[in-house]
Amino acid sequence: METYHDRERGRRRGRNVIYKLYVDNISFVHLGDLGHELERDYSTKLGPIHILMIPVGGTFTIDARGAWKTIENLNPKAVIPMHYWIENLNLPLRPVNDFIQQKPATWNVMKLNTNTLSIEAEKILQNTIYVFTLV
């Protein structure tokens, strides 16, 4: 599904593609370098989402605030934040903690000491943020 890499309908950074994949009865949606919030009608277009991979670091993509608005509109079961600042990264991005600090009280954080996750559809926890560790 085509979207934009900025809030100006792609005039600054071009287009962006959203991918939806089904693996072992789990629906994954990868928002790529999404640069604008997605409205509620995208929920109908994308259908049910088990795991949403969403940029949160700002500058080149949506920031934490825009990510939470998009999450509210898409209503995924769980999210994996991406495209945020990590130690030794020389890009003007915000850290994942900015995103976590803005989470609604109904969401939980699961920090993983790995960069992989094996999970079955029925074991995906509702309203969970999975944060990976670069290893």
**DSSP for 50-104, written as a single string:** SEEEEE-S-TTS--HHHHHHHHHHH--SEEEEES-B-TT--S---BHHHHHHT--
Structure tokens at 47: 């259908």
The reported pLDDT for the residue numbered 26 is 98
What's the pLDDT score for residue 41?
94
pLDDT in tens, the chain (135 residues): 999 999 999 899 999 999 999 999 999 999 999 999 999 999 999 999 999 999 999 999 999 999 999 999 999 999 999 999 999 999 999 999 999 999 999 999 999 999 999 999 999 999 999 999 987
Burial class of residue 56 in the structure, from the number of CB atoms within 10 Å of its CB (0-12 exposed, 13-18 middle, 19+ buried): buried
Map out the domains of the chain with their CATH numbers: 2-131 (3.60.15.10)
First and final C-alpha spacing in the chain: 31
HEC per residue, 69-82: HHHHHHCCCEEEEE
Contact 55, 31 (CB under 8 A): yes
pLDDT value of residue 134: 84
State the amino acid at position 133 in one-letter form. T
Q: What pLDDT sits at residue 63?
A: 98
pLDDT at 10: 87
